A = this chain, B = another copy of it.
């Protein structure tokens, strides 16, 4: 018979393994789902970039590079690819001619929404069977995790 504390050890052990394993899988299925749809030329990294560019923000190239922690040169290369494939637009900034703002084409917006829908489905399943209090508690655990990440990143 398992004691209460054995149960907890088992739970935390499972959560540990899960945190390690889950993301890789999420990236993989995101990519394979998106490629089953009409977006056959898109990788997981590219979806991530499209998500970061977003629907409405018109971020600059530097802002996006900073968010994704990519060098400026790498981002330029990635943007060239997504522009060539027709998902992303470079929008010269009229006030400051050094700046390029980024936007999604209509195809890019479709991709954004398809990815977003898949993610919402994923979260729905993640939270399946939980009531509002439970969900609030799970949210708090994610806050903890982000706090820890911020702390470690800062030091």
The answer to whether A7 touches B51 (Cβ under 8 A) is: no
The answer to whether B16 touches A149 (Cβ under 8 A) is: no
What band does the interface of chain A fall in when counting residues whose beta carbon is under 8 Å from B? 35 or more
Which single member of B29, B119, B125 contacts A147 (CB below 8 Å)?
B125
* A81 interface hit (Cβ, 8 Å): no
Within 8 A of B (CB), among A8-47: 8, 11-12, 14-16, 18-23, 25-29, 32-33
The answer to whether B120 touches A144 (Cβ under 8 A) is: no
Contact A138/B15 with A144-B127, A144-B129, A147-B125 known, Cβ cut-off 8 Å: yes
Which single member of B22, B134, B141 contacts A127 (CB below 8 Å)?
B141
A 46-64 to B, binary, CB cutoff 8 A, 1 in contact else 0:
0000010000000000000
A15-B139, A25-B153 are known contacts; what are 5 more A-B pairs with Cβ within 8 Å? A19-B119, A122-B145, A125-B144, A127-B141, A137-B138
User: Which A residues lie at the B interface, using CB under 8 A?
Assistant: 4, 7-8, 11-12, 14-16, 18-23, 25-29, 32-33, 51, 69, 119-120, 122-123, 125-130, 132, 134-149, 152-153
